[in-house]
Structure 1
Amino acid sequence: MIQYEINISGRVQGVGFRYFTQKQAAMLDLCGWVKNTPAGGVQVMVQGEKAVLDTFVDYLRIGPPPSRVSKVAVAEMPVTSNFPDFKVKY
């Protein structure tokens, strides 16, 4: 298992992006969290197998219909603890 920190920018707040992310994570059986950032982007911390995480990132590059993703930055992180599920943080 590996962990990704993903930062998404563009028109990603106010368009259901966090809930879209949670739905995709649940579909792929991934654990972690998603939250809005003060800079207007979305940050995701997610754990799973590399191939599944890469598929998840592909979904995030598309986003829900009203969004416009301009950049997706992915960084592999060391797994320090396991997330029990996937949550939307407020």
Structure 2
Amino acid sequence: MAEVARHIRVTGRVQGVFYRAWAQGQARELGVSGWIRNCPDGSVEAHLGGEEDCVDRMIQRMRQGPSNAQVDDVEVEEAAPENPGRFELRR
């Protein structure tokens, strides 16, 4: 399976509802590497890398989010791969 990388921006009520921690757990479960951080405009930004089917499943999960979140939109762009490994929370 091909390795891919995607840059994601999630808008809605996604800060202060444990969205990042939830996403980190989902990424670890799926074997997706990368990072996620809050943005000043209230959105959440992420970089996802890994097997294409795993990244696609991660994006689908991010469209739903945890129970306390309300996801309005998820923008997805192709991205250059970064260092593979773990999925980290950034500030």
Aligned to 1:39: 41
3-state DSSP class of the match of 2:85?
coil
Tell me the CA shift for residue 82 of structure 1.
1.7
Aligned to 2:83: 82
Tell me the CA shift for residue 78 of structure 1.
2.1
Q: How many correspondences in the alignment?
A: 89
Aligned to 1:16: 18
Unaligned runs of 5+ in 1: none
Q: Map Cα deviations across residues 36-56 of structure 1 (whole Å, 9 max, x no partner).
A: 001000001010111111100
Q: Which runs of 4+ in 1 moved over 4 A?
A: none
AA matched with 2:52: K
Tell me the CA shift for residue 33 of structure 1.
0.4
Distance, in Å, in 2 between the alignment partners of 1:32 and 1:86 is 5
**Identical columns (%):** 34
Unaligned runs of 5+ in 2: none
Distance, in Å, in 2 between the alignment partners of 1:78 and 1:10 is 26
Distance, in Å, in 1 between the alignment partners of 2:4 and 2:15 is 27
* 1:5 is aligned to 2:7: yes
